[in-house]
Structure 1
Amino acid sequence: MTQSPENLCHALIDAAKAAGADGADAMAAEGQSISIEVREGALEHAERSEGTDLGLRVFVGKQQALVSSSDARPETLIAMAERAVAMAREAPEDPYAGLADASQLITDWDLAAFELEDTSAEPAPEALKTDAIAAEAACQAIDGISQVQSAGASYGTHAVHLAASNGFSGGYCRTSRSLSCVGIAGTGTGMERDHDGDSRTFQGDLRSAEEIGRTAGTRAVERLNARKPDTGSYPVLFDERISSSLIGHLLSAINGASIARGSSWLKDSMGEQILPSNMSVIEDPFRPRIAGSRPFDGEGLATRRRAIIEDGMLTGWTLDLASARKLGLDSSANAVRGIGSVPTPSNWNIALTPGDQSRLDLIRSMGTGLLVTSMIGSTINSNNGDYSRGASGFWVENGEIAYPVNECTIAGNLRDMLKRIIPANDARSYLSRVVPSILIEGMTLAGN
């Protein structure tokens, strides 16, 4: 008889204790997914997967070890525990490793309020195929599209459970439904491509296949006849599609693991101004139907809403238990745990304070500069915040889009860049990272 993820976790912990562990936590994930890809109106690829994955971390004093498996047979659980304990006894001591105290654990939560699972019927493969074909057809119908590189739809559901010998036990189920399309315009060396897609927890929230296909095709055609811009110092507008990467660099710099290692350009910046004084970065793990929402973190602590940046000032690090202990602080309940990895700090849902101008308003105000819609590669110096990325998008002259550009590099220093950001009001509220288009003046642009 198949055991539930919860029962598997408790069986692993019991086996670890029997093998000689002083403490243990276990994670079990059970899921299934189906994906469909079409080409020229016909099915090209279909895949369905189902499985259960198990992870066990054990402690022998301050020594720890982790093992994982996809085999849930009782004899395998015992072998996993014995192997993990043997490994821990050979591991070096880590003074910061260990489970949460019982007093730190969440004891009650309303899972229904998070709306993590769409309980409607799983879509049939034919329904996924129909959506993918509709997206492909809408993209191909755009004048200038030479071919549709790919169009696909997928559905997934998985249940995850976490339990530990300190008394914590909790889990939840998630569903996901996604649709995407990639269009190609032009031919030969003048070929350009772009995409659009959507991913939601609930099927009913997904944008239409026709809209996704049209957007992918329109974006690809708009990129035709791109050229390199002139080298110089210009304002750069990061489109809403990619602006969250800037906030991502900020979040990486305040990650407790980096702070504890001393390898962050913000390591000595607690309480200092990081953004303009009218802007905040809010973390909210309680937003319904959003991928980054959850009642507890990967160590059983209650998640909470907090201002990471408040009125421009840095107020706190993103911490799990280990990084918090290294820094002599309390965990911010931001531990993320993988089946085959120990807990590490990570952020949940993030929102940046929006501005009062539209994206078009910012384009008009920037005069001459670059609107960035996609980026490739990345050179970020984690110690000083120096920033350099390949970019493409559109050249703006006299406040209007003039022509598409590619093969250029934008550069600056993140500390300086973030202090002078000007946000638009066009963020998509249903994303886990709600970040609008962002204008930064005086960036270095390398082109011709």
Structure 2
Amino acid sequence: MSSEIDSSTLLSRASQLIDLARKAGADAADAVVVRSRSQSVSVRLGKVEGTESSESDDFSLRVFIGKRVASVSANPGFDLQALAERAVAMAKVSPEDPFACLADEASLAKSYPDLQLLDTTEVSSEMLREAGLAAEAAALAVEGVTNSSGAGASAGMGGLVLATSHGFEGSYMASRFGHSVSVIAGEGTGMERDYDFDSRLYYAELDDPAVIGRRAGERVIKRINPRQVPTGKDVTVIFDPRVARGFVGHIAGAINGAAVARKSSFLRDRMGQQVLKSGLYITDDPLIVRGPSSRPFDGEGVSGERMVMIEDGVLKHWFLSTSTGRELGLQTNGRGVRGGTAVSPSSTNLALEPGDITPEELIRSVGNGFYVTELIGHGVNMITGEYSRGATGFWIENGELTFPVSEVTIASNLKEMFMRLTPANDIDRKFGVAAPTFAIEGMTLAGR
């Protein structure tokens, strides 16, 4: 384990690679190693269906010659000099990119905190197998559950090693553990499926597999014998936290600087304007200790800070990397992410901050409406904001969840949805995108 965590050898190779690139003619360069170690076990109906184990250290070198840039990737064991020379040769014949560059030296992290992202607990394949079996057994023990779609457990770690030609050197590792199970209730054409899972940085903080299994079983039996409901044009829809997190992801996509630069965001002209209801806040914080998406520096060596992206409903910031910032005439805010050989902006620990009422109070306040537990399809147009997705969940009558609902579609426009959103207070920050239960008024529901 210690040899896997120690990144000094990789950092040395990355630095060598940069030196060779400079000698080959590069004006500037950076080298990154994306580290990955994982193992998982899947089970179904009491038997192991599969085991997987993988590890990799993927090198990428990016070189700059004037306004020309090129990137190459390689696995461990490659010839450093040959890779550097190849990258420089590619850059010389590449088209000019006026925005590609390293982060400004002044913005580089000089020091960074220990965010406690790595749990070195040794988890054996036997422990993973037992966890998967326990989750499945607990789910199957719930009365009404008729079959299993499978269960699993996983353990792994990943991280980043980064060196740049203007003096930055850094590395970090983060662990990740998970349990999951999916089960079926009902028979024939009346079968319904549901699932539950947990994912944490620290193994000891994972929910017990039996608890996860029981929750999955209890969720699926509630879905038996769903109905359709009549079409309505002014329906209040409540989003369960599971689907609420995905909805907040749409907000993140709309305020991503890369989408703004491409003019593919419906919020591209709304900086400084009201985009959410007054009183609502979207925050992003890469420096949360043991945060699920925390990082001491980004993919360019820049430390990000906690930012209020949307404050009291007003849009204040885009997510920016260095090149995206330059394209928009702005400075990076430490949100650059390495994806292969490219750097693009992304959120870290993103949250729609909670309101003051409980989910139960929110449901009671609706009277009649639709509580969504699962969304189907990808009917979201990020250029126009048009939103239309298949949905399942439960009908709300007289302020209470009643019968299950399926085969309906909910639709509106994200611009209007943002302005009609009311959050509850039940946020769970163990996910990289966190959101409470929330209601959105005035949606169209297409049913029978």
Identity %: 46
- One-letter code aligned to 2:394: F
Q: Distance in 1 between matches of 2:49 and 2:205?
A: 26
- One-letter code aligned to 2:110: T
Show structure 1 runs of 4+ deviating over 4 A.
Answer: none
Is 1:14 equivalent to 2:19 in the alignment?
A: yes
Q: Distance in 1 between matches of 2:113 and 2:399?
A: 49
Is 1:88 equivalent to 2:91 in the alignment?
A: yes
Q: Distance in 1 between matches of 2:307 and 2:78?
A: 42
- Which stretch shifts more, 39-48 or 92-101? 39-48
Aligned to 1:107: 110
Aligned to 2:308: 307
Contact 2:172–2:296 at 8 Å: present in 1 too?
A: no
- One-letter code aligned to 1:248: G
Is 1:27 equivalent to 2:32 in the alignment?
A: yes
CA RMSD of aligned residues (A): 1.5
Q: Distance in 2 between matches of 1:260 and 1:31?
A: 31
1:35-54 aligned within 5 A: 35-54=40-59
Q: Distance in 1 between matches of 2:103 and 2:242?
A: 38
- Measured after TM superposition, the shift of residue 313 of structure 1 is 0.8
Contact 1:8–1:28 at 8 Å: present in 2 too?
A: no
Task: Classify the secondary structure of the residue corresponding to 2:43.
Answer: strand
1:31-430 aligned within 5 A: 31-70=36-75, 72-75=76-79, 77-111=80-114, 114-120=115-121, 122-233=122-233, 234-338=235-339, 340-430=340-430
Change (3 A) 1:229 1:80: farther
* Deviation by residue 1:63-91 (Cα, 9 ceiling, x = unmatched): 11111122x2252x322222222221221
- One-letter code aligned to 1:109: Y
- One-letter code aligned to 1:83: R
Q: Distance in 1 between matches of 2:349 and 2:360?
A: 27
Q: Distance in 2 between matches of 1:220 and 1:8?
A: 51
How many residues align? The count is: 442
Is 1:4 equivalent to 2:5 in the alignment?
A: no
- Measured after TM superposition, the shift of residue 434 of structure 1 is 2.1
Q: Distance in 1 between matches of 2:34 and 2:341?
A: 14
Q: Distance in 1 between matches of 2:41 and 2:9?
A: 28
- Measured after TM superposition, the shift of residue 243 of structure 1 is 0.4
- Measured after TM superposition, the shift of residue 4 of structure 1 is 2.5
Contact 1:336–1:343 at 8 Å: present in 2 too?
A: yes
Task: Classify the secondary structure of the residue corresponding to 1:151.
Answer: strand
Contact 2:31–2:163 at 8 Å: present in 1 too?
A: yes
- One-letter code aligned to 2:238: L
Task: Classify the secondary structure of the residue corresponding to 1:379.
Answer: coil
Task: Classify the secondary structure of the residue corresponding to 2:378.
Answer: strand
Task: Classify the secondary structure of the residue corresponding to 2:377.
Answer: strand
Task: Classify the secondary structure of the residue corresponding to 1:378.
Answer: coil
- One-letter code aligned to 2:306: R
Task: Classify the secondary structure of the residue corresponding to 2:237.
Answer: strand
Q: Distance in 1 between matches of 2:158 and 2:296?
A: 16
- Measured after TM superposition, the shift of residue 188 of structure 1 is 1.7
Q: Distance in 2 between matches of 1:74 and 1:248?
A: 38
- One-letter code aligned to 2:329: G
Contact 1:5–1:159 at 8 Å: present in 2 too?
A: no
TM-score relative to the length of structure 2? 0.95
Which sections of structure 2, spanning at least 5 residues, go unmatched?
none
Q: Distance in 1 between matches of 2:378 and 2:418?
A: 17
Contact 2:249–2:433 at 8 Å: present in 1 too?
A: no
Q: Distance in 2 between matches of 1:74 and 1:157?
A: 23
Which sections of structure 1, spanning at least 5 residues, go unmatched?
none
Change (3 A) 1:409 1:296: same
- One-letter code aligned to 1:137: A
Change (3 A) 1:142 1:45: same
Q: Distance in 2 between matches of 1:300 and 1:171?
A: 9
- One-letter code aligned to 1:423: P
